[in-house]
Amino acid sequence: MIYVSMTGEESEVFDAKEFIENSLEEIRKAVGGNRVISACSGGVDSTVATFLVHKAVGKNLIAVFIDDGLRREGEPEFVVRTLKNLGIRTRFVDAEKEFFAVFKGKTDAEEKRKAFRDKFYRTLGEVSKELKIQFITQGTIKADIIETVKGIKSQHNVLEQIGINPEIYGYKILEPLRELYKPDVRKVARELGLPKEISERMPFPGPALSLRVLGEVTPEKISIVRKATEIVEAETAKLGTFQNFAVLHNDKATGIKDDKRVYGNIITIRIVDSEDAVTAKVRLVNYEILMKISARITKEIPSVVRCLYDITDKPPATIEFE
């Protein structure tokens, strides 16, 4: 297993240009003439990592986008288009049905994360065998490592810390951003000339919308939370918050639709400010915006009768619900 060590420093003194130069050199040294894949979700971390390796080894890097059926509205198309625009070789893997299959019957948060992670690595393992690659790039950043070590979350892209040996999946790991905090990753993105949609992109978890469906993950539930997410993002785009999303509860609640009592779905809206995801503060969003989101969600998604706003900082809550 090879880790590329980086020269990450405090934000104030971080020099993105210097980081990139050192990084490209270290990646070239580590990879040699081997082939690399990079699982790219379209988030700032994985896209920066992918683009760095692409700059370092060119055609020897193949970006892989796994469509797990858990992405936001329009996201698979956006990611593939962005990678193509950057001149990166890209492989699109349609694994929607297979991912839903692994979630079947699983209701515990940690069990779901593990199911996702395992399926993710098995899928990558298959692609890597097929493409005969030796390295896989991951967008792991410092906060992921800190929280995994502290036991706050089992990040799906920090293998070593959680005792998984990536060799069993058939490849070595390249984590060019592992010493960086989020703001520095964004500086690197800007310095690399990546489009704003990437450099300023809101964090989005690896297991995607599966973390935002409490209880069992099904295509129906993902489609509800996807629509709610679209509404939340549209109505809060201008707030400039760190994260803004929707969560579908497994619990139901009573409501009134067409003058009749119904037992319907509950959606929670979560909007937080954060520097690095290690701590986060609830954004005290204007009620006018919240009430508009609540009205749109209960109107545009017929099964939803109730919207809640998360008013818990991290800690004691985490940013995500699972």
Instruction: Report the interface residues with a second copy, using CB under 8 A.
Output: 109-110, 150-153, 214-215, 249-257, 259-261, 263, 268-269, 282, 284, 287, 290-291, 293-294, 298-299, 305-318, 320-322
Separation in Å, CA 86 to CA 144, 192, 279: 26, 11, 33
**Minimum gap (Å) between residue 8 Cβ and a second copy:** 23
Q: Which amino acid is at 33?
A: G
**Minimum gap (Å) between residue 250 Cβ and a second copy:** 5
**Minimum gap (Å) between residue 322 Cβ and a second copy:** 6
**Minimum gap (Å) between residue 276 Cβ and a second copy:** 15
Query: By C-beta, is 108 or 197 nearer to a second copy?
Result: 108
Query: By C-beta, is 93 or 253 nearer to a second copy?
Result: 253
Distance CA 137, CA 51 (A): 10
Neighbours of 18 (CB within 10 A): 12
SS3 assignment, position 79: helix
Query: By C-beta, is 189 or 293 nearer to a second copy?
Result: 293
Query: By C-beta, is 24 or 282 nearer to a second copy?
Result: 282
Distance CA 139, CA 63 (A): 12
**Minimum gap (Å) between residue 64 Cβ and a second copy:** 28
Q: Are 137 and 174 in contact (CB under 8 A)?
A: yes
Query: By C-beta, is 109 or 131 nearer to a second copy?
Result: 109
Rounded to whole angstroms, the maximal C-alpha distance in the chain is 68
Least Cα distance to 19 among 255, 184, 129, 222 occurs for: 184
Cα-Cα-Cα-Cα dihedral of 136, 205, 148, 179, to 10°?
60
